[in-house]
Structure 1
């Protein structure tokens, strides 16, 4: 083991560049998946004839597929049908599809956890269904959804490491390059990766707890 050599400024900078890409992929995927997952979750909650069932079937299929398979599909299969994405956007697309399916269930579950009387009371005041859903039901559901949503986002950040299989230069990929140059760097690099992932995920968990307190 050579911690001093492994943690040279050049190697640390290379790792941080990978970490930045990891965070960027995760951040973009989180935004897209939250919007898409929210729409899907609301559609399933509203039980729109045919549409809700179709969306539900598709969501269940995606949720039961390995994320790695979806990454392979977006990078290797989509070009065969004329849709070519670079490595970065292939990973973002795969993450978004997978996380949207997962988040839609969390959002639907959160909406269902709000007592039906809340919707009925809101409708009795003259609000439309969508107004009652967005103004009355959704804010109450959001409080219940924050912990599982943040937990899912933390999983997403860790899952970005799967992109190493298609050579996305994220933190795991860059660490692999570093310890590939010298086997004495293997353990130091794994320690560094563990520390970086822990810091990012721990910060997210702290933010989650503060949001719970503020909204609670």
Structure 2
């Protein structure tokens, strides 16, 4: 093992560049999948005829596919039908598709956890169904959903490493390039990579706990 050589300034800068790409992909994917997850979850909860059933089939199909397959599909299969995405957009698209399906189930379960009596009380006070959903049900459900949603975001950040299969220049890709230059760098580099992932994910875990504590 060569810690000194592995942690040379040029290598650290190269890893940081890859980590910034990882964070960028993760951030965009988190925002988009959160929005789509809420929309899909709400539609499934409200049981809109036909649309809810179609989304249920789509969600269950995606949830039971490996993310790696979806990444391959967005990068290698879509160009066959005339839609070519660069590596970053292919990775983001795959992550958003997969995570939206996962988050929509969290949202739907959170909405279903709200006591039906509150819905009846809101409706009897003159609120429409959509007003009840927006002002009464969704705010309470979102507070309950904080821990599983943050947990899913942590999984998403870790899942960005799968984009190495399409050579996206993210953290794991840059780590592999450095390791390819000298086998003595493998352990030091992977220790540093693990630490970088840990810092971000642990920070998200602490944020989740703090939000959960404030809601009590």
TM-score (norm 1): 0.98
TM-score (norm 2): 0.98
CA distance in 1, matches of 2:75, 2:113: 38
What is the CA distance between 1:209 and its match in structure 2? 1.1
| Pairing of 1:83-122 with structure 2 (within 5 A) | 83-122=83-122
- Deviation per CA, 1:130-173: give whole Å up to 9, x if none: 11111101111112100000000000000000000000010000
CA distance in 1, matches of 2:72, 2:205: 30
| Pairing of 1:73-84 with structure 2 (within 5 A) | 73-84=73-84
What is the CA distance between 1:48 and its match in structure 2? 1.2
Please state if 1:171 is matched with 2:171: yes
Which residue number corresponds to residue 13 of structure 1? 13
Structure 2 stretches of 5 or more lacking a match?
Answer: none
What is the CA distance between 1:204 and its match in structure 2? 0.6
What is the CA distance between 1:214 and its match in structure 2? 2.3
CA distance in 2, matches of 1:55, 1:33: 15
CA distance in 1, matches of 2:18, 2:211: 28
- Deviation per CA, 1:12-42: give whole Å up to 9, x if none: 1111111111010000000000011100000
Which residue number corresponds to residue 130 of structure 1? 130
What is the CA distance between 1:215 and its match in structure 2? 2.7
Which residue number corresponds to residue 141 of structure 1? 141
| Pairing of 1:187-198 with structure 2 (within 5 A) | 187-198=187-198
Structure 1 stretches of 5 or more lacking a match?
Answer: none
Which residue number corresponds to residue 159 of structure 2? 159
